[in-house]
Structure 1
């Protein structure tokens, strides 16, 4: 059958005698029915507008107002985000999967069902880039760079000159930002939560352990609360020098709150990462330390949770993330340690192929 001809039309209506904004009607007019003559329902919900000319007078039949609140757009799914990237000319089909994987692995978004939810880390990174590197995260820059890379792949552009043209100004831009303060703020907290020390205003901040409330006067004031408003007990000085830096840098041992409870560490953290171990709670694995041959591998608890290290610390600093099995690696001779559900056992040495035995060719 013959194609139908439809004209898309916008009609702008003005009420001259009233202080009312213009109204816009969007619809279409059928110029030639064609196959629509046999199937009028195929037009769906498309609005058919009347045939009128510019400046035609219209009669106001009725007018009503209705209050509505603006609703935020729905969260993206992976498919929806890929569709948005395609719309903006960002990325290529070969890179979409890695983009989705990267934003989740780096903790910028979390997946709830099929929906991608931005994290606090994602908010901070986004705010930092928008404030300091606007030119490099714009849609136009990204799309243009994608086109240039396509031209390099097609042999139409020299890759060395393209990289120089990008990298020279980018290096200068990064260098100019080296001394700016670290961006961790996530906005103000509810007014009922005041600093437990100075009673001043607080703000949400992001740390390695997640969101918390911090006094706006930091570092002059160290008042802090947990994300739910619970007061965090301030660090307690113990009157002891840090064994690692106390003599040279005057580091002091303090008891403070960590992700896994209270622990004793150096006041100069993160410049000094000394953590005092509770000798009464050392849990021996019965595995001899292969580094010094004197101590045993024992379970310890540090700032970031449990780990396994030589009991002869600080003379021996041999440590590993998970419990040693007592076996030695057949490829490098280092200790084997517990792995995961899919890799029950692996070598402690990161450079050894047996650290990731699942990647060794021929193994299943």
Structure 2
């Protein structure tokens, strides 16, 4: 259809568009925006905000309110007028959209509206700047844009092509702040040239690109906070601890996962000829996303089976509403506890009597070598594969799942592979070469030494020849690591490390001065460097000890030397923290 067609402008629609600024930060929106713009975790954002609040630079950071005080609004008006002119100011009052919001504190804003920047760490400066710009933008004028939609008709079909573009006529709040989103759009705004209805167009080229549907995106910490807020689960003070807890307990992990290469087709009409081009793209890559673990899925399945009411989203929201009523004095807390605890306790007693260990257990098949069943389940130390029944005559064999393997999708073949290790590849220099998987990944063992395998080396298929090559390469690297050693004292070594040359002696490392050539160092010079470094460390420790006040009397007898200094320092820090809270 496109090949022989002629093209004309069917319609040109131009309309004004206004964009309004976002409201000032609440706890959840600060966490989300700091994650998107600055890459901060939720816990990191709250820790930095806490320091800014304690040092008097921002208002209280645990709030669900979008309101600003009258004083702040007046100062913002004055500041915007002076900095950008009256046309950039617009008074605004925001209303929270969150159900059950308490609004006990005003929105998060700079303590001093006219303070554009602060002294502090790089992270504190970045977060403060984000809060400052968002607060300022919240009282600025709308951005005014002009959006143009062009419809292009083709002579051989009823289908049309559409082109959209927009230009900024007045930047308004965009002069200060642009809000980010979790879904990054592939489409960028384009500037459309002046065209008119009925104008003919000439084809340069037309592309048809194959596209695939994608699964819903996994949660980031920021998007999970937004979802919790939407569902009415938790309060501003509980978002960060909740997300930290599910990670600490091993229910979810935050990590990056590489994508997979995928081919897609592009059909191009160029000079009246259609060409097919096969391109590749990386799909499915995940960055800083939250992934459920086997433990997390097992716990969730168990709770959903036995405590569906507790895990219902509405339950937490209802409890929060009860808390609000208790705070308002319209509900007795004893009534609320009684209403919840009695049925919950009965439920717990029933589950203890009837629940079985087999929750989350999968039977994969039979081991061809022994005829025993192969089971994957959650064990005391994590997900594992078991060959044989626990109540059988023979003791079952166990193997832990490796990183990337999961209870719900591991196959029988993959499970049996886990029992092939450790594997003896053969002998080299009259010693066995063994391949195995340990705590830190796959490795080789030879002559009481260990050699890590690279990502490209599969422990299940690696050959003896490849293993010998890895061992010899590692030996060569170790050999090149030693720049110089001394006959007079074999414990002193001049080594080449990750960050440059250094001295090694008696298990300690020492920095080589910049004016010294490592390869030409003498034994006497090395000893001098070591002694000088030791004296410097001892002097610093002694100074620290003198500066740390120790309680008189009994406490001074409890320890001497480093132990006493350490205890004294600990007491001093504790006292300092207490004094700060008192203030």
Which one has a larger percent helix, Structure 1 or Structure 2? Answer: 2
TM-score, with length taken from structure 2: 0.30
Q: Which has the larger radius of gyration?
A: 2
